[in-house]
Structures are given as C-alpha cells and as structure tokens.
Amino acid sequence: AAGYLEYEHARVRWFLSINIEDVPAAQRDKGQRTFRSITVDGEEIEFSGGFTDLHTRSYEEILAGRGYGLEDNRTAIETVASIRHAAIAPLSGDFHPFLKKD
C-alpha cells in the first residue's frame, strides 16, 4: 500500500509492505527484515534499528499511566482510518518510488 498525505507544511509520500522483497537489497543482504526511513529535503534518515524497543518503551509508559491519551492521538487515528477506507487508485503523478520496480 502507498499514498500521500497533505499537511499544512508538508506533502508526505508513504509506503507500507509486508513483502520482504520490498526491503532494499542492501539491508536484506545484512539480514535486516524491516526498513524504515524518512527523506526530508532530499536527505534520507534510516531508523530501522531500535524500533521495537521504542514500541516497548511506549507501552511501558502507557501501562505506568504516563502514556498518550485518545485526544493526543486523535489526528493519527483519524489519518489511519482515512487511509484504510481510501479508494484504490492507479499509479499516476508523483507516486512513491518503491512502487516502480525496475
């Protein structure tokens, strides 16, 4: 799945896959099974490592009563719901580069 989100100061292209073949070859060759990155103004930041630890820490804070509440997460929840119910569209325009396979 892929798409883009429009915000006040940013247009965000996103790509989500459970297919190991979508992990870049360089990362797969190192045994990496997931890949997470963001590119801002042409500069890529890769943050795949430690992601599971981040989720664990977040859950620990929630269970300790120091997590984020529903209102804090409303925008994220509404965004995900919108993506889930969006119509499928053909490739056109400025689509995510991972969608075009050589």
Strands in the chain per DSSP E: 2-6, 11-15, 37-40, 43-46
- Looking at the fold, whether 54 and 44 belong to one and the same domain comes out as no
Q: How confident is the model at residue 20, as a pLDDT? A: 93
Q: Domain containing 82: what range?
A: 50-91
Does residue 67 lie within any of the structural domains?
A: yes
- Looking at the fold, whether 12 and 32 belong to one and the same domain comes out as yes
User: 22: buried, middle or exposed (CB in 10 Å: 19+, 13-18, 0-12)?
Assistant: middle
Among the listed residues 62, 33, 61, the one whose alpha carbon sits nearest the alpha carbon of residue 49: 33
- Looking at the fold, whether 71 and 58 belong to one and the same domain comes out as yes
Measure the CA–CA gap between 14 and 79, rounded to whole angstroms. Answer: 12
Domains of the chain: total: 2
- Looking at the fold, whether 44 and 55 belong to one and the same domain comes out as no
Cα(first)–Cα(last) distance of the chain, in Å?
18
- Looking at the fold, whether 43 and 75 belong to one and the same domain comes out as no
pTM for the model stands at: 0.69
pLDDT bucket at 102, cuts 50 / 70 / 90: low
- Over residues 27-35, the mean pLDDT reads 91
Q: Which carries the bigger pLDDT value, residue 100 or residue 22?
A: 22
Measure the CA–CA gap between 9 and 53, rounded to whole angstroms. Answer: 30
32-62 tens-digit pLDDT: 998 998 888 889 988 888 777 888 898 899 9
At residue 42, the 3 state secondary structure works out as coil
